[in-house]
Chain A
Amino acid sequence: MNIEKTDRSRCLNESLKASFLAALVAFALSFLVLGVETRLFENKVIVVPHWNYVALIVLTVFVMRFMSVLFSWKRRKPSTDLKRAKKSYFSALFETKFENLLKIFGIALFIFAFFLPFFPFSGRYFLDLSILILTYTMLGWGLNVVIGLAGLLDLGYVAFYAAGAYSYALLSTSFFPFLIEQGYLNPVIMNWIFWICLPLSGISAALLGISIASPVLQLRGDYLAIVTLAFAEILRMILINWDELTGGPNGISRIPHPSFLGIEFNRSPEGFSAIFDLEYSSLQRLIFLYYLIFFLAMLTNVITLRLRRLPIGRSCEAMREDEIACRSLGIDTRNTKLTAFAIGAMFAGFAGSFFAARQGFISPESFGFMESALILSIVVLGGLGSQIGIVIASIVMVGGVQAARRLEFFNTLFGPDFDPSVYRMLLFGLVMVLIMICAPRGLISHRTPSILLQKKKASPADLTLEEQR
C-alpha cells in the first residue's frame, strides 16, 4: 500500500517537473514569435502583444506533456509474466489475422478504386483529388523500390519526376512536331504522342537516375541523401535557367493531352464523344485520366511486387541488410544499387509524363523539394516496404490535407473567418508527428517473406513455391 502511494507521488512529481520544463521551452519559443507583433502605425513601429496566444500555447504544451509523461509512466510498470504471455499470444494471433485482413483490405480498396468514377458522389473535384492521390501512390511505390527495398535514402526523387515531365513536354511540343514539319513522320502520330513518349520519358528518367547514381553510390546513408538532394536542386536550377530549352520559370505550355487509342477528348467529329455517340462532357476526359493513372499505378504495383520475389529484388534487400555479406557471396552491389535507382527513376518518369499530360502545363515550380519530402514522408509513414501502407499514407497525406481545406467543420468550431487552408501545413506536421509517435516504423511495418518453403503432408520432401503478395 505504502509503496504504491510513494510510487504515485513520484510519478506525479516527475510528470509535473517534465511538463513545467516543456511549458518553459514553449514560452521561450512562442513569446517572441507569437506574443509580440510589430506593426507599422503612422510611420511608427508599435508593438501589439498577443498574450492570449502565448498562454494558449503554453497551457496546451503543459497539459499534453503532463498527460504523455503520466501515461508513459504507467506503461513503464513491469507487467506480470502471465500478462506478458497473454499479450505475446495475442500479438502472434493478431499477426496472422492482420496479414489476412490486409489482403482483404487491399482487394476491397482495389475494387473501390476501380469503380470510383461511377459512384454518385464522385464529382469533378473528387475525381481530380483521386487522380492526385493515385499519382502520389505511384510515386511512393516507385520510391519504395529505392528506399524500402534497397535501403538507399533518396531525397531527390522529384528530379526523376521532373525529368519524366520535361521529357514528355519537350518531345511532344518540339521534337516530334519538328520531325513532322520536316516530313520524316506522318502527322497522324500526334494522336498517339502520349503513348510514344511515355516509355521514352521513362527511359530518359532511368538514364538520369543511372547517371546521377553512378558517381555517388560509394556514399552511404546520410551522405547519399545529401547528394541526391543536391542533384535534385541542380536539376531544378537548370530547368529555371536554361530558357531556350525549358522556357525557364515560365515553363512549357500547350502540352498535348493523352488520347484513348488515338481518339482525342474534344468536341470535334473525330472526338471521343462523337465516335461513341455520347453527349460531350469534360468529365469524360477526367475519367479517362483517372483510369490511365490507375493503370500506371497498378503496373508499378505489380512490377515492384514481382521484383521483390526475383533474385534482383532479393539481392537488393540483402544489400540493405548487409552489404559486405552480399559482396562475399559474389553479388555486384554497385550494379544492384544502380538497378534499384534506375527502376525507381523509371516509375517516377512515367508518373512525371502523366503529370505533364494531365496538366498541359509544367514549370519548375512543381518540382521543388517539398514534393520530394511529401513522397518520402508517404513512403516512410506508410511503412518501408509496404505497398498497402503507402496507399493509406498517400490518402492521408495528400487527400486528407486537401480535404481539410474544404471542411465546414472547422468553421463551426473556430468561427466563419477561419480559413483551414492556411493551417494545412500545420496539420500535415501534426499528422506526421502523430504517426511517428504511434507507429514509429510506419503504419504497416510487417514484412512478408519473398519466398516460402511449404511441405505437403503427403510427401514431405516435395516442395512448393508459394507466390504470395
Chain B
Amino acid sequence: MTATMEKNCSSSQINDRLSPKAEAGKNPILQVDHLVMRFGGLAAINDISCSIFHSNITAIIGPNGAGKTTFFNCLTGFYKPTEGMIRMHHEDGTVFFLERMDDFRISASTNLVRTFQNIRLFKGMTVLENLMVAQHNKLVRTFGSAISGLFCSSGYVAREREALDLAKYWLDRIGLIESANEPAGSLPYGSQRRLEIVRAMCAEPRLLCLDEPAAGLNPNETSQMNTLLRFIRDKHAVSIMLIEHDMSMVMKISDHVIVLDYGEKISDGTPEFVRNDPAVIAAYLGTEDLENIN
C-alpha cells in the first residue's frame, strides 16, 4: 500500500532533496524511494531514497553497521523491506517493482545480480561448472528444453556451446582459463573474488551488486579488480553498485558515491563532492561539537 502511495509523489523531488545529482543527464536504472527495513524496533535502514544511474559505478560507503549490506539485501530480495519502493528500469521501458519479488526472480527476470561479502562459490565444483550454473536460466528456458537436453537435441547442444564460449571468454578475462577444471575452492583468495564477480557476469546482469569486492585483497589484486570493474562497465554497459571500505579504490573507480550512516543517507554525489561533504567527515571522524559535549 505504501508503495502505491509513493508512486504518485514525484521521484525527482526526492532525489534533489539532499544534494546535487551526480549525473544529471543520465537515466536512473534503479530508483529507491523511502526504503525502511526494521528488525523489531531497530531500523537498520531508515528512509533511504536514491537513484542508481546507467553505466555508472556507484559506491555505497559508510562506517561499520551503517546498514550497507542490509540495503543490498533489500534490493536483491533477500530481505523484504518494511516500507518503501524499489523500481528497476530497463532500457525498453519496463519497470520492475523489486520489493514485491522473490530473490531468485529478481536476478532471473530483472537482471540484477549480486555477490556476497563472504565468498559464496560452489567450492566443490570446478571453476567452469560454477560459470555454467550461472547460465542455468539461459540453458533451461522452458520445461521442454530441459527434457530435450536429455536426448542431446541440437538446440540444446548449440545453447550449451554458447554458454561454454561465454564462460571461456570470462575465464580468459580474469586469467583463470588454465584452472578451469580445478575445484573452485582450491583457488587462491583473490582469484575466488574475481571468479565470483565473473560468475555473476555470466548470469548477464544489467545491474551488478558487489558486496565488498576488494575485501582481503592486496594492493596489486585491488588494482586488477579496478580494471575488471571498469572493463565490465565500459565494454558490457553494465551498471555496478558496490559496497566498499577501501576509500582509495572507491575514489578511484566510482562515478557516484552514496554515504550511509546509522541507516540513513547522509551524502550523495560525485566522489569529490562526497569527500568534502562535512556530514561525511563528521560520520567518519566525528565532529567538534560532539567532542565539546563529551
Identify the A interface with B (CB < 8 A).
303, 306-307, 310-312, 314-315, 317-318, 321-322, 324-333, 447, 449-453, 463, 465
> Which residues of chain B are near A325, meaning CB under 8 Å?
116, 120-122
Interface residues in chain B, defined as those with a beta carbon under 8 Å from any beta carbon in chain A? 76, 78, 103-109, 113-116, 120-126, 128-130, 132-137, 139-140, 146, 149-150, 160-161, 164-165, 168, 171, 177, 180-181, 199-200, 203
Chain B nearest Cβ from A213, distance in angstroms: 18
Say yes or no: A311 contacts B149, CB within 8 Å.
Answer: yes
Bound together, the chains give a CA A322 to CA B128 distance in angstroms of 16
In the complex, the answer to whether B123 meets A321 with C-beta atoms within 8 Å is: yes
A303/B150 in contact, CB under 8 A: yes
**A383-B180 Cα distance, complex, nearest whole Å:** 25
Name 18 interchain pairs, CB-CB below 8 A, sorted by A: A303-B150, A306-B150, A318-B122, A318-B133, A324-B116, A325-B122, A327-B107, A330-B137, A330-B203, A332-B108, A447-B124, A449-B126, A449-B129, A453-B128, A453-B177, A463-B161, A463-B168, A465-B161
Q: Which 8 A-B pairs have the closest CB atoms?
A: A330-B108, A330-B107, A325-B120, A453-B180, A321-B122, A311-B139, A318-B133, A327-B104
Residue of B nearest to A312 (CB): B146
Bound-state CA distance A452–B130 (Å) is: 12
Q: Chain A contacts of B164 at CB under 8 A?
A: 451, 453, 463, 465
**Inter-subunit contact B129/A450 (CB<8 Å):** yes
Whether B121 and A328, one on each chain, are in contact in the complex, defined by CB atoms closer than 8 angstroms, is: no
- CB-CB under 8 A from A318, the residues of chain B are 122, 125, 129-130, 133
Residues of chain A with a CB closer than 8 A to B132's CB: 311, 314, 451
**CA distance in complex: A317, B139 (Å):** 16
Which residues of the other chain, B, contact A447 by a CB distance below 8 angstroms?
124
Q: Note all chain A residues with C-beta closer than 8 A to B203.
A: 329-330
Closest chain B residue, CB of each to CB of A307: B150
CB distance B168 to A453 under 8 Å? Answer: yes
Q: Contact partner of B136 among A311, A449, A450, A451, CB < 8 A?
A: A311
A295 to B195, CA, bound (A): 42
**A329 & B177 in contact (Cβ 8 Å cutoff):** no
A452 touches B181 (CB 8 A): yes
Contact partner, A326, options B113, B115, B133, Cβ 8 Å? B133
A303 and B149 CA atoms in complex are apart in Å by 11
Asked if A315 meets B133 with Cβ closer than 8 Å, knowing A322-B120, A453-B177, the reply is yes
Given A312-B149, A314-B129, A453-B180, 9 new contacts (CB under 8 A): A311-B136, A311-B146, A321-B123, A321-B124, A328-B200, A447-B124, A449-B181, A453-B181, A463-B168
Interface of B is mostly: helix
From B107, B126, B180, give the contact of A328 (CB < 8 A): B107
Q: How far is the CA of A449 from the CA of B181 in the complex (A)?
A: 7
Which A residues are CB-close (under 8 A) to B181?
A: 449, 452-453
Contact of A332 among B104, B116, B134, B149 (CB under 8 A): B104
| Distance of A317 Cα from B136 Cα, bound (Å) | 12
* B104 partner, pick from A311, A331, A450, A465, beta carbons under 8 A: A331
CB distance from B220 to the nearest CB of A (A): 26
A451 and B127 alpha carbons, distance in the complex (Å): 10
CA distance A318 to B106 in the complex (A): 19
Complex CA gap A312/B132 in Å reads: 11
Please state if A314 and B136 are interface contacts (CB–CB under 8 Å): yes
8 Å CB contact of B199 from A329, A451, A452: A329
How many Å lie between the Cα of A165 and that of B133 in the bound state? 36
| Bound Cα distance from A324 to B120, whole angstroms | 8
**Chain B: minimal CB distance from A88 (Å):** 14
CB pair A310 B129 closer than 8 Å: no
| Residue in chain A with minimal CB distance to B168 | A463
Least Cβ–Cβ distance between A460 and chain B, in angstroms:
9
Q: Across the interface, do B125 and A449 meet the contact criterion of CB distance under 8 Å? A: yes
Contacts of B140 in A (CB 8 A): 311-312
**Does B116 lie within 8 Å of A328, measured CB to CB?**
yes
Q: How far is the CA of A310 from the CA of B270 in the complex (A)?
A: 46
Q: Which residue of A lies closest to B204 (CB)?
A: A330
Q: Report which of B113, B125, B177 forms a contact with A330, defined as CB distance below 8 A.
A: B113
Tell me, in angstroms, the Cα distance from A315 to B104 when the chains sit together.
13
A48→B76 CA distance, assembly (Å):
72
A310 to B133, CA, bound (A): 10
Q: Chain B nearest CB: distance from A300 CB in Å?
A: 13
Residue in chain B with minimal CB distance to A460: B177
CA distance A337 to B266 in the complex (A): 43
Measured CA separation A318–B131 after assembly (Å): 11
Known contacts: A315-B136, A327-B104, A328-B114. The answer to whether A310 contacts B149 by CB under 8 A is: yes
Who on chain A is nearest to B171 by CB? A453
- What is the minimal beta-carbon distance from B12 to any residue of chain A, in angstroms? 31
Cβ contact of B200, chosen from A306, A314, A329, A453, cutoff 8 A: A329
A318-B122, A449-B129 are known contacts. Are A329 and B146 too (CB-CB below 8 A)? no
In the assembled complex, how far is the CB of residue B163 from the closest CB belonging to chain A, in whole angstroms?
Answer: 9
B77 CB to closest chain A CB (Å) equals 8
CA distance A328 to B136 in the complex (A): 12
| List of B residues within 8 angstroms of A333 by Cβ | 104
Given contacts A322-B122, A449-B125, contact A330 B161 (CB under 8 A): no
CB-nearest residue of chain A to B161: A465
Residues from chain A with Cβ under 8 Å of B78 in the complex: 324
